[in-house]
Amino acid sequence: MVSKRIIPCLDVREGKTVKGINFEGLREVGDPVEMGIRYAAQGADELVYLDISATTEGRGTFMELVSRIAKNINIPFTVGGGIRTKDQAAELLLAGADKISVNSAAVENPDIITSIASKYGSQFVVAAIDAVYADGSWRVVTHSGTKTTELGLFEWVKKVEELGAGEILFTSVNHDGTGKGFACDELKAISELVSIPLIASGGAGKKEDFLELFSRDCADGALASSLFHFGKISIYELKNFLKTNGVDIRI
């Protein structure tokens, strides 16, 4: 059995880590390099860096900042935001990223997943999927949640695997930053549709939320930000709680 993963996320805007609720009301919470170092020391299994304004501003990810983070941590590092070409993915690989995350660009041009995966391997490509539940259905959203598409969540989930993505990072906009728990029912449905690893994001508010997620086998990993950024719980404390409650996790 593969151990479950705890993954802190750095949502970065203009070089600072930020956090909001339902993708809105963002406020600065710290320096991404310092936070990355702290989370690695606490026992994080991986670190995710998302340049959340790159796509809306029509630019690429800040390479220098990515490089500084990568040089200061010793855990797998996923970078996303503004990646639209195979060349940009190559630049991030050289800057120290172990995986890249594509979201809006993949919705607009699905072939970007296949292009990058065929060059660097499926394990290098994470399909980040943001979705919102409204009017009785889940729809994929892009551009940091500012654009709702006609693309159905479950349709897109199956498609990204077919295109060559090696992992899916699903964020429920409805749950993001609320602290009310993960979208476990939807995550369970996604996990039964695909064979690649699934990372859950959006809604973690307490240790028991992670326990429910893993006890129901809804995902292979859990991504969180607010819970860790605001010191509500440490990664070390969380992992010990999960281990004590029977979850296979690295301490």
Using alpha carbons, select from 208, 207, 221, 227 the residue that is nearest to residue 249.
Answer: 221
The CA-atom distances, in angstroms, between 33 and each of 37, 40, 48, 73, 199 are: 6, 11, 12, 9, 23
Contacts 24+ apart (CB under 8 A), 33-37: 33/65, 33/68, 33/69, 33/72, 35/8, 35/10, 35/229, 36/10, 36/69, 36/72, 36/73, 37/72, 37/73
Please report, for residues 44, 92, 169, 213, the alpha-carbon distance to residue 21 in angstroms, rounded to integers and kept in the order given: 23, 28, 18, 20
- Residue 66: which residues within 8 A CB-CB, separation 6 or more? 49, 79, 92, 95, 96, 97
b/e per residue 100-139 (b: at least 16 CB within 10 A)? bbbbbbbbeebebbbbbbeebebebbbbbbbbbeeeeebb
* Residues catalogued as catalytic: 11, 130
